[in-house]
Amino acid sequence: MGFCGAMDLPKSNRPVVAVGWMLVTGLNFVAVTAIVKSLGDRVPAAEAAFLRYALGLVFLIPMLRPMWRAQIGRTGWALFGLRGAAHTLGVMLWFFSMTQITIAEVTALNYMAPVYVTVGAALFLGERLAVRRIAAIAVALGGALLILRPGFRELDPGHIAMIVAAVAMGGSYLIAKRMSGLVSPAVVVGYLSVTVTIGLAPFAWAVWVPVTWGDLGLLFLVAAFATAGHYTMTLAFQAAPVAVSQPVTFLQLVWATLLGMLFFNEPPDAWVVSGGVLILGAVSFITWREARVKRRQVTPTDLATKV
């Protein structure tokens, strides 16, 4: 949560600082994936996602005043509800995918979310797709096919879930982009947390199992690392243009692959890494091109699933 508004932040020219903050951001989000992976299926996906958001509400305290004072209106409330529904679906499926497929596959397929946003912006927001964008989208889809390799292996339910999760997150980002012109980023982020917590509650109730204090502590750490990651990502965007820091996100795939290999007995897969490189390269090209022509960006500038 929380990429919206980041693109409107004033930029300075401190590329080394931006890269440094983006490295810290990647480590925060890799910590999120590691902790969720360590939980396994001890806690059902919907319940784990709900507890992560419910425990994370403590981080909304600084946002309460702007949330209370915001003039939202009927359209704003409708957008908040719609985004909450899309994000709820995406988060549940992301947690489920983490129990079914490797960390590297989840990370690589998550890179597709900005591509879905680009397509959605053309379909629903009237944005024009230039030839270069279309070519980049084709390259990204080719990367996804390398990861999935349909016809050459059996697809796991986790793969399907992650594809839908990325589409749902893309829809959430598109709505956030529309909302960023109505209220402040703090309000957008705050109400996302509230609506997703509410949205997850009935699904969590349906599969509820008792949890240990240790698992609650791990899920609180997920919330803490995710919040820290969004904050350091904002600092990176403030330090330099996005085109400077975005390529650093490739390291998340490297770290995810190493993490899976060293701690979760997940052997490295050259197809997954190659596909992830193609997807990230395509998204980075789109971002760089948009920065060159100084047009408003549509593709989200951060590639981490908002959990």
In the block, tokens 């509410």 appear at 198
**What is the model's pTM?**
0.83
Rounded to an integer, what is the distance from CA 141 to the centroid of its chain? 18
In the chain, domain spans: 6-293
**DSSP conformation class of 61:** G
Ordered per-residue pLDDT tens for the chain, 307 residues: 333 334 444 445 677 887 888 888 888 988 999 999 999 889 999 999 999 999 999 988 888 888 888 888 888 889 889 999 999 999 999 999 999 999 989 988 888 887 887 788 777 767 777 787 788 888 888 888 888 888 777 788 999 999 999 999 888 888 877 776 777 777 888 888 899 999 999 999 999 999 999 999 999 999 999 888 878 877 776 777 666 666 677 788 888 888 888 889 898 888 888 988 888 888 777 766 666 655 444 444 444 445 7
CA R_g for the chain:
18
The conformational region for residue 161 under phi > 0 = left, psi -120 to 50 = alpha, else beta, is alpha
| Contact between 285 and 132 (Cβ < 8 Å) | yes
Helix, strand, coil distribution of the chain in percent, nearest 5: 75, 0, 20
Could you count the other beta carbons within 10 Å of the beta carbon of residue 68?
Answer: 9
**Alpha helices per DSSP H over 125-269:** 131-148, 157-179, 185-206, 213-239, 242-245, 250-263
In the block, tokens 């409708």 appear at 78
| Contact between 271 and 152 (Cβ < 8 Å) | no
Tokens of 11: 């930029």
